């Protein structure tokens, strides 16, 4: 028989109030308190907290507090990833972020989802993984919904709500986000 954590990580319906999961979220909140309050000014103490909070990220992960997540260990980042202030990552399932990805203030990344049936929703939830490729820029206040993949080289406009996959090298804006054009791989000149 699977544990509730095993069910959660495989995308099955699970009990979020399972004692093991509650303990892990409590530990995450303890680390977030250190990051967001005690070590608010980014420095050596912040790097130590981030190494424990998000163990699947390189040392050059940069997060401007405040930051929020559910578990931390389900977030995997490449090199040179930046989260500006007030970002939220609900990492019930894996959130895989490539290298050179920049998240503006207030970006929200949600793997968590819930059943549509109200009675079932009272006790169970599930999640779908999210992937963001290399060299992406996620604009301020953008929301990335469960199960979405964003290809490399994308720009997601401020306030966009990404409900479906976005192909590589695309500019996507709006609610729901729609690709409005392909992006040229040549550098822009001013």
Q: Which residues are catalytic?
A: 114
SS3 136: coil
Q: Are 85 and 66 in contact (CB under 8 A)?
A: yes
Q: Are 155 and 168 in contact (CB under 8 A)?
A: no
Helix/strand/coil percentages in the chain, nearest 5: 20, 25, 50
State the Cα–Cα distance between residues 103 and 81, nearest whole angstrom.
8
Q: Strand pairing partners for 182?
A: 170
70 DSSP assignment: S
Count other Cβ atoms within 10 Å, centred on residue 25: 17
Q: Are 133 and 150 in contact (CB under 8 A)?
A: yes
């Amino acid at each position: 028989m699977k544990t509730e954590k095993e069910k959660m990580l495989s995308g099955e319906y699970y009990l979020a109030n399972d004692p093991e999961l509650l303990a892990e979220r409590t530990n995450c909140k303890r680390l977030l308190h250190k990051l967001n309050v005690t070590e608010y000014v980014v420095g050596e103490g912040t790097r130590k907290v981030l190494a424990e909070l998000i163990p699947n990220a390189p040392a050059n992960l940069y997060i401007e507090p405040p930051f929020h997540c559910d578990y931390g260990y389900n977030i995997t980042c490449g090199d040179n990833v930046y989260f500006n202030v007030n970002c939220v990552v609900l990492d019930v399932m894996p959130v895989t972020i490539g290298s050179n990805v920049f998240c503006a203030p207030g970006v929200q990344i949600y793997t968590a989802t819930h059943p549509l049936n109200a009675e079932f929703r009272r006790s169970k939830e599930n999640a779908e993984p999210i992937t963001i490729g290399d060299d992406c820029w996620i604009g301020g206040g953008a929301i990335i919904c469960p199960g979405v993949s964003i290809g490399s080289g994308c720009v997601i406009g401020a306030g966009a709500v990404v409900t479906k996959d976005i192909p590589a090298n695309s500019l996507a804006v709006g609610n729901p986000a729609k690709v409005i054009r392909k992006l040229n791989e040549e550098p822009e000149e001013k």
